[in-house]
Structure 1
Amino acid sequence: MKLSPLAKASLVVSLQASSLLFTGALLAQTTNTQADSQLNKVVEAGENITQSAAKSQQKVNKLTEKVQTKLQQFKTVTKEVDGLTVYNQQMQNQLDNQMAELAQLAQSMEEVSVIERQISPLMARMITTLEDFIALDVPFLPVERAKRVNDLKAMMNRADIAVSEKFRRVLEAYQIEVDYGRTIEAYSGTLALNGQNTDVDFLRVGRVSLVYQTRDGSQLGQWQQTNGKGDWQALSQDYRLGVNKALRIARKQLAPDLMMIPLTTNISNGTLTAAAE
């Protein structure tokens, strides 16, 4: 069958159009495939970036935690350093004070020998003065007071007692003598009466009165001092009740109360310096 020229021309045009359509479709498909491939690469690159960013953030977080920890440690150490600085300053001040005290002690130790050379003669004079005072004083507790002085004399020759302890004991003896002047005391003893030793009760009121009474109460007497010398003088029985009351008060058998007792009469150069109460 023979085609007309027009038909041939139409067929050629149709074939060319089909070829163009196929080529376009093929090109579109190829373009889409390339686009998909590029998109996948972009998505994959984005995911990689995201993962890298996440890892970087984790590193940043860890570094931040480390920095915070180090900062806290730094603050703690700084506080400790400040505290140690203040403590060291206090210790330095104490050390300076101790060094000053050591210097004073060293100086005092150098002066100890000088003090010891001066204090020993002083104590010897004090003991001698105390002995003389007791000899001239009202003769109460003669054995006890004499023993105290003798003990002090013996103590001065002992090398095992420190000088400070010796001085303390001498001052203690002086204090005891001072206390005698403001206390009341009753004690028992013996007294030579009418040529024989007789048991009596002594009453001492400070240093203003020293009285004795025999155990049966039949005799009373009082120490009298004249021109530095003294002797026992008999008392009237009128004083018996007052002396008995004073003895009971001194022995704490009665509450403190008014006592009617004779005072020691000191006569010097013919002058009466104290009278009976």
Structure 2
Amino acid sequence: MQLRTRNLLAAAILASGVVFGANAADVETVIDKGANRAAQAQQAQQKIDSIDDTTRSAERDYRAAIKEADGLKVYIQQLDKQLASQQSELDGIEKSIDQVTLVERQITPLMLRMIDAIDQFVQADVPFRVEERAKRVDGLKDLMGRADVSVAEKYRKVMDAYLREMDYGRTIESYRGNLDGREVDFLRVGRISLIYQTLDGHELGVFNQNSRQWQPLDAEYKSKVMAAIRIAREQAAPDLIKVPVAAPQEAK
């Protein structure tokens, strides 16, 4: 490229030399200077082109950085909203914890009263599964003194005991147990009747809730009690049963 420029300058100067009569030495000097200036101009243009490319690249990088910054700004705003929401949840949780502490202080005495009520009820109730029910009450009392059991679990156990006691009032069952040193079959019909029958079937009795004592049953109830026991044990289809119950008394 430089050689071509030099040739063009030489041609132009020679043409001028013909017109003005310039000598060869002067022409050669002018040609060299012109070629140098042309080369310098080319280098300058290359630097300009390089600077332009660098500038354009920097501009692209700048625009990309601006776009990324805008995206980060939106992301930060979203994070701020999430942090505000989480802080609100934390405040709610702390408030709930304070309320739970208050509830725990109030519910513990309530559960103790509930356990005492179950204990008194079992003692005053028809004496069926006495040992099992008394053991359940004792277990609840021991549970209330344990620090490794949560209040929620304690409350669940107390409510479970209440539900069990409620179920006794609407179910029928027959189980084998001990009465005055003898093994007998018990028949419980809800809470309205508790009957026993010796294993040989010769002796029947019913618990009188009014007198809190067992009293014998006539032999005429033998077949009825046996049929009821079979139904309670699911050895016979459900049917109407006739069992003796205590007469209701007027509440005082």
Please report the TM-score for the alignment, with normalisation by the length of structure 2: 0.69
Within 1, Cα distance between the matches of 2:227 and 2:197? 12
Contact 1:225–1:267, Cα closer than 8 Å, also in 2: no
Aligned residues: 230
Contact 1:186–1:202, Cα closer than 8 Å, also in 2: yes
Alignment correspondent of 2:186: 202
> Identity over the aligned pairs, expressed in percent?
27
Contact 2:198–2:204, Cα closer than 8 Å, also in 1: no
Alignment correspondent of 2:132: 144
1:38-85 Cα offsets, whole Å, 9 max, x none, are 566555534432332122101210221122123212322331232122
Structure whose alpha-carbon radius of gyration is higher: 1
For 2:85, give the aligned amino acid.
Answer: N
Structure 2 counterparts to residues 175-254 of structure 1, below 5 A: 175-192=163-180, 197-216=181-200, 218-219=201-202, 221=204, 223-225=206-208, 227=210, 229=212, 231-234=214-217, 235=219, 236-239=221-224, 242-249=227-234, 254=235
What RMSD over aligned residues (CA atoms) do the two structures have, in Å? Answer: 3.8
In structure 1, list runs of 5 or more residues that go unmatched. Answer: 1-25, 271-277
Q: CA deviation at 1:105?
A: 3.6
Contact 2:187–2:229, Cα closer than 8 Å, also in 1: no
Contact 1:189–1:199, Cα closer than 8 Å, also in 2: yes
Structure 2 counterparts to residues 1-277 of structure 1, below 5 A: 30-31=21-22, 33=24, 38=30, 41-42=33-34, 44-103=36-95, 105-106=97-98, 109=101, 111=102, 115=106, 119-120=108-109, 122-153=110-141, 158=145, 160=147, 164=151, 167-192=155-180, 197-216=181-200, 218-219=201-202, 221=204, 223-225=206-208, 227=210, 229=212, 231-234=214-217, 235=219, 236-239=221-224, 242-249=227-234, 254=235, 257-269=237-249
Within 2, Cα distance between the matches of 1:208 and 1:154? 31
For 2:127, give the aligned amino acid.
Answer: P
Contact 1:225–1:264, Cα closer than 8 Å, also in 2: no
Within 1, Cα distance between the matches of 2:95 and 2:159? 30
Within 2, Cα distance between the matches of 1:27 and 1:246? 143
Q: Secondary structure at the match of 1:268?
A: coil
Q: CA deviation at 1:247?
A: 4.4
Q: Secondary structure at the match of 1:72?
A: helix
**Which is worse superposed, 127-136 or 86-95?**
127-136
Within 1, Cα distance between the matches of 2:150 and 2:18? 128
1:111-155 Cα offsets, whole Å, 9 max, x none, are 468637xx42x4454334323322332221012223333444566
Alignment correspondent of 2:6: none
For 1:257, give the aligned amino acid.
Answer: A
